[in-house]
């Protein structure tokens, strides 16, 4: 199902155009007709160009894993910046005029074709900092909260956004709510819950489970030595780490008991 969704997304102009931009240099070198049309002196990759492309593959593999990429679309989105920068270097290496043209195309595409955002259903409450979250706790202390602390610019947070939305649709109840706090806009929340919001932070996103207004679990977390334990934010990993199935069933049971008590009082 995930692969089918990814293939559907690939039909969007953003992905098609960026894949084409990412392959422009290799296409120009490996397809003779295109190579001659562009006036290339040689229609083969030399040793320097091969080294640059090989280095690119290594960088993409490392960076996409660090960004928490778990699907084909995640890998592509995380790699587009690196592939386009590499193509820019190669085009300047081959012909400065082609390099300038390629740079202009990248800028134009960035302005006209922003990355598609998740448009599916969600049951997420967007909170304005630590104060807003505390107000929600005080409104009903019996409500369990799963809160994602994120920033809009962090690739791992962007990757996790649709996953969190899907989890909210599957598990949200009146007494089990899903919230999000943008610590880029509300640094007070980052300070209160000890989350580093720097550009090099490995704590973004951070997912915290609250029961009766108190933190009971979080990912990623620090071990006994204070070292951050890496966590891959996939749907299955989040479900397992926070035992969401049992949390959901317990909240559902509590909700049913509350309704039964209310009916008895009315009778």
Q: Per-residue pLDDT tens for 174-186? A: 999 999 999 999 9
Residues 47 and 172 in one domain: no
Pair 70, 187 in one domain: no
Residues 78 and 155 in one domain: no
Answer whether residue 119 is part of any domain.
no
pLDDT at 25 over 90: no
Domain end point (choices 112, 145, 161): 112
**Higher pLDDT residue, 166 or 31?**
166
Q: Which domain holds residue 187?
A: 124-266
- In terms of domains, do 181 and 137 share one? yes
Do 102 and 132 fall into the same domain? Answer: no
Task: Give mean pLDDT, residues 25-34.
Answer: 80
**For residue 60, what pLDDT band results from cuts at 50, 70 and 90?**
confident
Going by pLDDT thresholds of 50, 70 and 90, the confidence category of residue 69 is low
What is the mean predicted confidence (pLDDT) over 113-142? 88
Query: Do 164 and 87 share a domain, yes or no?
Result: no
**Residue 85 belongs to some domain of the structure:** yes
Greater confidence (71 vs 210) lies with: 210
Under the banding of pLDDT at 50, 70 and 90, the label for residue 202 is: confident
Of 73, 90, 112, which marks where a domain is finished? Answer: 112
Q: What is the pLDDT of residue 75?
A: 75
Say yes or no: 44 and 8 in one domain: yes
> Do 80 and 17 fall within a single domain?
yes
pLDDT tens sequence across 213-244: 999 999 999 888 888 898 988 899 999 999 99
Spatial contact of 160 and 193, defined as CB atoms under 8 Å apart: no
What's the structural domain count of the chain? Answer: 2
Confidence of residue 63 (pLDDT cuts 50, 70, 90): low
Q: CA–CA separation, 74 vs 89, rounded Å?
A: 24
- Place 209 in a pLDDT band, splitting at 50, 70 and 90: very high
DSSP string, the chain: -HHHHHHHHTTSHHHHHHHHHHHHHHHHHH-HHHHHHTT-S-SS--HHHHHHHHHHHHHHHHHHHHTT--SHHHHHHHHHHHHHHHHHHHHHHH-HHHHHHHHHHHHHHHHHSPPPPP-S---EEEE-HHHHHHHHHHH-TT-EEEEEEE-TT-HHHHHHHHHHHHHHHHH-BTTEEEEEEETTT-HHHHHHTT---STT-S--SEEEEEETTEEEEEESEE-TTSPEEP----HHHHHHHTTHHHHHHHHHHHHHHHHHHHHHHH-
What is the mean predicted confidence (pLDDT) over 41-70?
Answer: 74
> pLDDT at position 41, please?
63
% residues pLDDT > 90 (the chain): 42
Which of 112, 135, 161 marks a domain boundary? Answer: 112
Q: Which two tokens stand for residue 109?
A: 């595409």
Do residues 187 and 140 share a domain? Answer: yes
145 plus 230 within the same structural domain: yes
Whether the predicted pLDDT of 3 surpasses 70:
no
């Amino acid at each position: 199902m995930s692969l089918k969704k990814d293939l559907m997304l690939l039909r969007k102009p953003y992905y098609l155009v960026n894949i084409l931009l990412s392959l422009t240099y290799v296409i120009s070198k490996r397809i003779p007709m295109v190579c001659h049309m562009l006036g290339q002196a040689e229609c083969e990759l030399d040793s320097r160009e091969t080294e640059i492309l090989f280095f690119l593959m290594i960088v993409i593999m490392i960076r996409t894993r660090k960004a928490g990429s778990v699907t084909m679309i995640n890998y592509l989105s995380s790699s587009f910046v690196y592939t386009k920068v590499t193509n820019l270097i190669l085009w300047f290496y081959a012909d400065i005029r082609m390099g300038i043209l390629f740079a202009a195309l990248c800028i134009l595409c960035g302005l006209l074709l922003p990355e598609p955002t998740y448009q599916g259903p969600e049951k997420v409450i967007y909170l304005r900092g630590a104060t807003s979250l505390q107000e929600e706790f005080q409104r009903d202390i019996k409500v369990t909260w799963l809160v994602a602390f994120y920033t809009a610019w962090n690739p791992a947070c962007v990757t996790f956004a649709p996953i969190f939305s899907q989890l909210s649709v599957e598990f949200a109840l009146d007494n089990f709510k899903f919230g999000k706090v943008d610590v880029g806009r509300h640094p007070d929340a980052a300070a209160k819950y000890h989350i580093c919001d720097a550009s090099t932070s490995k704590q973004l996103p951070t997912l915290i489970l609250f029961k009766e207004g108190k933190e009971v679990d979080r990912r990623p977390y620090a071990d006994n030595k204070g070292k951050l334990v890496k966590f891959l934010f996939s749907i299955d990993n989040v479900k397992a780490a926070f035992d969401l199935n049992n949390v959901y069933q317990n909240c559902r049971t509590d909700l049913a008991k509350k309704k039964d008590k209310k009916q008895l009082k009315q009778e």
